[in-house]
Chain A
Amino acid sequence: MFDSRTVGSENLPRSLLACKHCGAELSSSNETDEGFCCRGCAGAYTLVQGLGLESYYGRRSVDASARRLRPEEEEEQSYDFSAHVERNDQGESTLNLMVEGIQCAACVWLIESLLAKNPAVAWARVNMTTRRLVVRWREREAGEILAPILRVGYRLVPFDPVKLGLDTGKHERELLISMAVAGFAAGNVMLFSVSVWAGHFSVMDGPTRNLMHWLSAFALVAVAYCIRPFARSAWAALSKGRTNMDVPITLGVLLASAMSLAETIRGGEDVYFDSAITLLFFLLIGRYLDSRARGRARSAAEHLLTLDAVAVTVLDEKGGRRLVPPAQVAPGAVVLVAAGERIGVDGCILAGRSDVDTSVISGETVPTVVDVGERVFAGMVNLSTPLKVTVTEVGERTLLAEIVRMMEVAEQGRAHHVALADRVARWYAPVVHCAALLTFVGWVGLGALSWQPALMNAVAVLIITCPCALALAVPVVQVIASGRLLRQGVLLKSATALERLAEIDTVVFDKTGTITLGKPRLEPSSNALFSNGTSSPWNEADLCEAASLAAASRHPLARSLVAAAPSVKVRDDVREEPGCGLYAEGLRLGSRSWIGLPDEDQTLGPELWLDRPGQPPVRFSFTDTLRDDAALVIARLRAQGLAVELLSGDRAVTVAQVAGQLGITTWQANLTPAGKVARLEALKAEGRKTLMVGDGLNDAPALAAAWVSASPSSAVDVSRTAADVVFQGGRLSPVLEVLDVAQRSRRLVGQNFLLALGYNVFTVPLAVAGLVIPMIAAIAMSTSSLLVIANALRLARRKTG
């Protein structure tokens, strides 16, 4: 909320120059008329205004980091929704969708209002937290109902609510209900216990105390209900011959309850019903927080994945077009890939010649030319002309599946990280059990007590040592840390990511798309060096002329030329020769060989040549821009004593240049995905713990092989799946932030463990000596838990330094 507000106010002075619909900055090159950046936005604005919903524009706060609300300019890329529609007996259809593009509450209002305007819609509701839309309607087709939302610019992806997160939701709900029951029972039992304790100091006759004990015994029902999550986990561990935190918990609570019941029947003085149920209550809080933090990270990751499920356009024999999910395309089918579209399948080109952006696969910034008969892979982006592709591989045999297999292999090789809490539990549980057993044996053997009071003392030891604060120490810190990171656009996908991040000593970066933005930018004229004087440095007039041609193309080099000369009039007569360049009336803009110059060594990086009749050709050279704060982030990392490396699939010259700019001394170029993994394995063999930051498909196996990994949210889905941390925005500084939070979390967890253990050191001797009465047990337990939580909260309060 805070972020979007600051961004909104920052935008205010520029609002005159922003597109009325999507809020993108306007420049004379993309302005159509009346303050819109494109026809799609103008259409969307008219639609919204026509329905009387224009107050939306006044209410919303534009979040600059989010996807712009810009409709597709081409024919609507409508997804085939029919497969996901559920119909009931009354003829009502229901559809669950994920919505991309929701920025603020006004978007929720706009979507619901757009749907409500349609009389066929019976019910529509957007969940702002999960960004999901449920819509019910009668009699119409799904596409017709949802068309207005698509035209305004939101992207919709249907999903199956049963498949997505049903079991995690069920588990979480069970924990929450158990927590509520335990809280209720703990509160009421404590009421009786306090009166019994008060009775120690004044006079409470035996029968009254017994009545109180019997009343407290109703906690047994709650204990029986609430202990299930712990008992299940303890049983699972024991049956595998291991022990975990849940074993002493289950044992302690069950023993305490049983002994208390026996004492109550006998009319004894000390019962532990209150301790047993309060303990469960605190533990369930920890469990619930833990599961919630994990569930939230997971659902966000699923959200990212589902949104990328793009449909593929399949051509059938009659020339008809169908939109099909990539998984359902059969080998041999012909797929049409429009210019600007991502290729969804592996295949051979049947017709067409085009430039494709392969950066996702090879890490190279400059597009490659593909022709009939050549192979293309899922994930590449078709840039210049439509292609017809014959599908050769599907499912298991695609390049993507190959990469996924490499990832799995790498993941198996990854040293299995044992969560800190589990490592503590490994020695804590046996110690606790021994202490309780020794107490019992000691009192029976030496203290000449009968077995019943001796067992009560042993139970007191179990209750006192029950790892209540220990079980809270990690989850509370984790929840606060991940909440704090989430607000800054960093998503923790793995529960142990923070612990692993705190241990790293080496950071390995990918180049294209990670250190750099993966977009070429025009170099200033003075930098446009040339080898043999065949061209002269360009001037403004050259640039304008070149940009007037380039405006007609989607090629990244052409795009960046246009970006450098925004106020240029677009020519109408431009033709594109795929893989070569653009031409119009004797003007030519394109590759060196196409212009007819000798093909020299290509060490100078990406370039475009402008050829005009009667003038020497002019060269425009490009570089891949670094992320704004790349140099700063790398300098800071080094200042923290971390080794920084650069691994890239790009050409050595480019990588060397980037490494030089950033002061990175260890770098490797021309690496295949396997090469990157090999380098990480080598680092591991040296005993180093690496953080891998990468975004491409070629980085995915390396991300899986690293000790811990991070991806920008612009990364391909496979990489985001492999990464432990996903960060948003165009900056690299979240890497620093997440390392900082990880280190502080580790400190806090350590302090929390010390606090919790300190309490035990103090109280266990008392319990062994048989001096602990239920009141002391209750006070000691609650105080240590509260202290641990209060200590963890410090993480949320401290400002970013």
Chain B
Amino acid sequence: MNSLLMLIPVALVLGGLGLAAFLWALKSGQFDDLDGAANRILFDDDPQDKDTLSERKASP
């Protein structure tokens, strides 16, 4: 019974974290371009792309 009192809040907090992470991902546009993201990982072997990448980080 005592373990329940601890486990239930833990379960709720973990689930809540997952929910918060999803809502954050949604808000920050992680789901906006699924096709592009799938192919984009293949691009970065070129030097000039790094410039864009670093600047991408700088802007929102």
Contact = CB atoms under 8 A, between A and B. Distances in A.
Contact of A187 (B15, B23, B35, B51): B15
A194 interface: no
Given A116-B52, A123-B52, 13 more contacts: A108-B39, A108-B40, A113-B48, A116-B49, A124-B52, A129-B32, A129-B34, A129-B35, A130-B33, A173-B26, A180-B19, A184-B18, A215-B8
Interface in B42-60: 42-43, 46, 48-49, 51-52, 55-56, 59
B6 interface: no
B21 to A, nearest CB: 10
Contacts of B33: 127-130
B60 to A, nearest CB: 9
A53 B46 CA distance: 9
A181 B15 CA distance: 10
Given A105-B40, A215-B8, A113 B32 contact: no
A428 to B, nearest CB: 33
Which of A105, A122, A136, A215 neighbours the largest number of chain B CB atoms within 10 Å of its CB?
A105
Nearest to B52: A116
Contacts of A176: 26
A188 B59 contact: no
A128 B36 contact: yes
B19 A105 contact: no
B36 A122 contact: no
A187 B32 CA distance: 26
A77 interface: no
Given A116-B48, A122-B55, A177 B15 contact: no
Contacts of A117: 48
10 contacts: A108-B36, A112-B52, A113-B46, A113-B52, A117-B48, A123-B59, A129-B35, A184-B15, A187-B15, A188-B15
A55 B42 CA distance: 13
A129 B36 contact: yes
Nearest to B47: A52
Contacts of A105: 35-36, 39-40, 42-43
Interface string A175-195: 011001100100110011000
Contacts of A180: 19, 22-23, 26
Interface residues of A, number: 33
A58 B31 CA distance: 29
A109 to B, nearest CB: 5
A123 B40 CA distance: 16
A208 interface: yes
A5 to B, nearest CB: 13
B19 A136 contact: no
A136 B60 CA distance: 11
Nearest to B1: A208
A792 interface: no
A718 interface: no
A125 interface: yes
A109 B43 contact: yes
Nearest to B16: A184
Interface in A89-148: 104-105, 108-109, 112-113, 116-117, 122-130, 136
B20 to A, nearest CB: 10
- Choose among A104, A177, A184 the residue with the greatest number of B CB atoms under 10 Å from its CB: A184
A192 B7 CA distance: 12
A54 B17 CA distance: 46
A116 B51 contact: yes
- Which of B23, B35, B59 has the most A CB atoms < 10 Å from its CB? B35
A112 B50 CA distance: 11
Interface string A70-86: 00000000000000000
Closest A-B pairs by Cβ, 4 of them: A105-B39, A128-B36, A127-B33, A184-B19
Contacts of B39: 104-105, 108, 128
Most buried by A among B8, B36, B46: B36
B34 A123 contact: no
A128 B19 contact: no
